[in-house]
Amino acid sequence: MAMSGRLALTVLIGPALAWAMPAHAQNLPVKDMTDQAMQITPDYLGLPQPLSASDENASKPSGKPDLVVAPIPISNPAIGTGVAGAAVLFYNPNKSAQPWVSGLGGGYTSTHTWGAGLFHSMSLAHDRVRFLGFAGYGVANLDFYGIGPDAGSAGLSIKMHDKALAGVLDVQGQIFREGLLRHFYVGGRFLYLDLNASVTVPLPNHPEITPPKFERESTISMIGPSFTYDSRNSSTNPRKGVYATGTLLYGADWLGSDFTHHKFQLGANTYLPLGKQTVLALRQQLCGASKDAPYYDLCLFGQQGDLRGYETGRYRDGASWALQAELRQHLFWRIGGVAFAGVGGIAEDVGSIWKHSTVLTSGGVGLRYLASKDANVNLRADVAWGKDGPAFYFGIGEAF
């Protein structure tokens, strides 16, 4: 699948940034690192926990800087096996409920895919405004199967060598200070990606698989609204609450974009405690891209953990959706187990989802090892089965 380098440093900003980059970047190591790096947070490191916006009686986080250097192992069917390294500084110059975080890092995998970059996030105005910025460069050597369900099912792919310079700016503000809506932040996002992709192993008898050159060598600059709703009791291993994110971005030629397409992405996780040692986690995802979107910014099936068992990007089209459930059970000592199953699919556009989706299913099991009792963070190892066979995943933290 064609990937350009979403940089390994995306690794440290958490799931919110996973929505920030184009879909083609979702099967870079950065994607996995992004999902896992949410674990490198103050609670994981034993630092003061962020406060609820309405918790006025709790003590404020310390302003003392804490520098952390950490490796992040990764493995999935899209990018192979590898490791990322990151240096992250937590500090709190304005004594906010949320610490400021700055970092840099990089990663490398067995497919000779690598990336590097830097980021900064901060909280202002007593945590009523949150800012996130990221910039980086990456190279990927992965497979591209084409567009549509028939392309994914055929299993024919070309090898592509992609290089990309990417950047994201996101600013969100809190509207309400009390009640359930205190967890809701809304704002805007700007995304930039400059891609240079070449075909290293073509299929001469299937020229239709190769993307046109004007798309392989192009730039997108997109801008639009974004939101986050987060009522989880923990960012690392939640037992209850809701985490939802969404963006609606438009290509802007006045910002130098070669395409003026639009794309929206919505995702929501719900966590339900079924007992002291049992949690049911649910995830829903929906993506839609306009017909004039370049091949690398279409919707990819299997991203964001939707669904495990599929190589991210093998199935791509103008729309994707997924529903997934995972039962999480503590077994003994530091060992836990999970069982998960899901259904989803791709379609030509959002309007065709209900009648003309190509439906894909998956399921699997996994083991968990509690790596940190204080932060309640797991190492995970999952085996999943999809339409095209089994896949193995290893990483830090839960899949969603």
Q: Which amino acid is at 261?
A: H
Q: How large a percentage of the chain has pLDDT more than 90?
A: 43
Mean pLDDT of the region 337-343: 96
Q: What is the pLDDT of residue 19?
A: 33
Mean pLDDT of the region 1-15: 32
Q: Report d(CA 320, CA 268) in Å as an integer.
A: 14
Q: Which of 210, 322, 394, 301 is nearest to 24 (CA)?
A: 301
Output the average pLDDT for the chain: 81
Contact 86, 12 (CB under 8 A): yes
Omega prior to 181 cis, within 30 of 0: no
Q: What is the pLDDT of residue 375?
A: 59
- Dig out the tokens for 350 from the structure: 């959002």
Residue 42 lies in a domain: yes
Q: Tell me which long-range contacts 363-366 makes (C-beta under 8 A, separation of at least 24).
A: 363/309, 363/339, 364/308, 364/309, 364/339, 364/340, 365/337, 365/338, 365/339, 365/340, 366/337, 366/338, 366/339, 366/340, 366/393
Binned at pLDDT 50, 70 and 90, residue 76 comes out as: confident
Reply yes or no on whether the pLDDT at 72 is more than 90.
no
Q: Which amino acid is at 398?
A: E
pLDDT tens digit sequence for 105-131? 888 888 888 888 898 989 898 889 999
CATH number at residue 14: 2.40.160.50
Contacts of 13 (CB under 8 A, 6+ apart): 34, 37, 101, 119, 121, 132, 134
Reply yes or no on whether the pLDDT at 40 is more than 60.
no
Q: What is the pLDDT of residue 229?
A: 94
Q: What is the pLDDT of residue 251?
A: 96
Mean pLDDT of the region 22-36: 39
DSSP code for 52: P
Of 98-107, 136-145, 250-259, 280-289, the least confident: 98-107
DSSP symbols for 249-279: EEE-GGGT-S---EEEEEEEEEEEEEETTEE
What is the domain range of residue 351? 8-396
Q: What is the pLDDT of residue 374?
A: 66
Reply yes or no on whether the pLDDT at 360 is more than 50.
yes
Of 48-52, 144-148, 240-244, the least confident: 48-52
Q: What is the number of structural domains in the chain?
A: 1
Contact 50, 62 (CB under 8 A): no
- If one compares 145 and 235, the residue with the highest pLDDT of the two is 145
Q: Report d(CA 134, CA 86) in Å as an integer.
A: 14
Q: What is the pLDDT of residue 249?
A: 96
Q: What is the pLDDT of residue 384?
A: 93
Residue 3 lies in a domain: no
Contact 134, 119 (CB under 8 A): yes
Distances, alpha carbon 127 to alpha carbons 171, 185, 372, in Å: 12, 10, 28
Residue 346 lies in a domain: yes
Q: What is the pLDDT of residue 74?
A: 75
Binned at pLDDT 50, 70 and 90, residue 63 comes out as: low
Q: What is the pLDDT of residue 305?
A: 72
Contact 342, 320 (CB under 8 A): no
Binned at pLDDT 50, 70 and 90, residue 330 comes out as: very high
Mean pLDDT of the region 275-299: 94
Phi, psi of 211 (to 5 degrees): -65, 150
Reply yes or no on whether the pLDDT at 55 is more than 70.
no
Q: Which amino acid is at 51?
A: L
- Dig out the tokens for 278 from the structure: 């049992």
